[in-house]
Structure 1
């Protein structure tokens, strides 16, 4: 699969590298793509670098891992390029923020708020509640994998997100629709749990898997 990453920092860079190792073609982007070359060169020909617009246009899936305050402008600038794409939203309002966007996300839920500012996308909250170090550690383990909560309104998009969580060496836990993503946003029981499937289900009050 061709995947664009907008915001190839700590989380985006880690997840993207694991996807390349799983066989996907990944375009890593930032406002200064030349700074990403040293990271992508060892990954081989399936890894490339570019601008956020190039990442949005690259393939059917885009992971966005940028500061939350950048989303409205990003959604405006890349509206046509992102239209119809499966967007994995890993962004979170910063702790203690009291700006208008953070208040809106707190009142309405981060998932629905992200969907508002990324209109026309098939948005899934994914990789938003886990640390990059936990993702990387999970990819190196055979058991006790990291559980990654995901949520979205588009069933097929959620399924694709679940496959990509598996390809990053973690276990996906579908929590529900975008509104249900409040359970693993900052302040929710699933945020930064960085734990196994059994424990994450317990924290979220979900039944044990069959």
Structure 2
């Protein structure tokens, strides 16, 4: 099936295979909610034994593997790793992630910045990440919200659901990711093309706003 077909399948609520590269605080929280929504998710991290015990209660739709195994498993991928790990992962996983929708939640450090972090903050984190994850249908997502806010939103009232800013140059991928944001119990706030993601990178008004969708749209000057 084409990736356009996958995007349509997402909108109809079909169970998807998702690989999560970096199942720590944020990646793990999002991944668990996707499992509860009925998706098949492979979690990957450096501590596989510990993670295996943690996800065991989630049932058969949750599995554990290496980053390479998760990248091969998923039709959709989420990256939630330290920013300086992206160049190596982009090279190692290039073949497995080619043509796939990739959600990028990675942020450069705000302190003791590497050369890569300085480049990303200056040139745009989303644009830099897209270059480091070549050949993918890249979407900036889950990068500006805290895991605790995502978790709380899953059981919040409709008026208090968390607004999650997302951006991409790929309109079809953006629609697919918007549905995946809804699947974790949050509300997608589409800011526009990839350049618009600067409004919610570190230092932008949308970074760590952790508020509901109407308030976030007002902060980012985004129409409904």
Same fold (TM over 0.5): yes
Q: Deviation of residue 58 (structure 1)?
A: 0.7
Following TM superposition, by how much is the alpha carbon of 1:32 offset from its aligned partner in structure 2, in angstroms?
2.8
- 1:55 partnered with 2:70: yes
- The reply to whether residue 20 of structure 1 matches residue 40 of structure 2 is no
What TM-score, normalized by structure 2, do the two folds share?
0.91
CA deviation after TM superposition for structure 1 residue 39, in Å: 1.4
Displacement after TM superposition at 1:97 (Å): 3.6
Indicate yes or no: 2:88 matched with 1:73: yes
Structure 1 runs, 4 residues or longer, greater than 2 Å off: none
Q: Give me the whole-angstrom Cα distance separating, in 1, the residues matched to 2:54 and 2:87.
A: 28
2:132 matched to 1:129? no
How much does 1:59 deviate? 2.1
Summarize the alignment of residues 1-210 of structure 1 with structure 2, pairs less than 5 Å apart: 1-143=16-158, 144-207=160-223, 209=224
Gaps of 5+ in 2: 1-15
Q: What TM-score does the superposition give when structure 1 sets the normalisation length?
A: 0.97
| Superimposed CA distance per residue, residues 124-171 of structure 1 (whole angstroms, 9 cap, x where no aligned partner) | 000000000000000011221000000011111111110000000000
CA distance in 1, matches of 2:45, 2:114: 24
Larger CA deviation: 138-147 vs 93-102: 93-102
Q: Which moved more, 1:95-104 or 1:39-48?
A: 95-104
Inter-partner Cα distance in structure 2 for 1:200 and 1:48 = 34
- Output the CA distance in 1 between the equivalents of 2:186 and 2:59: 23
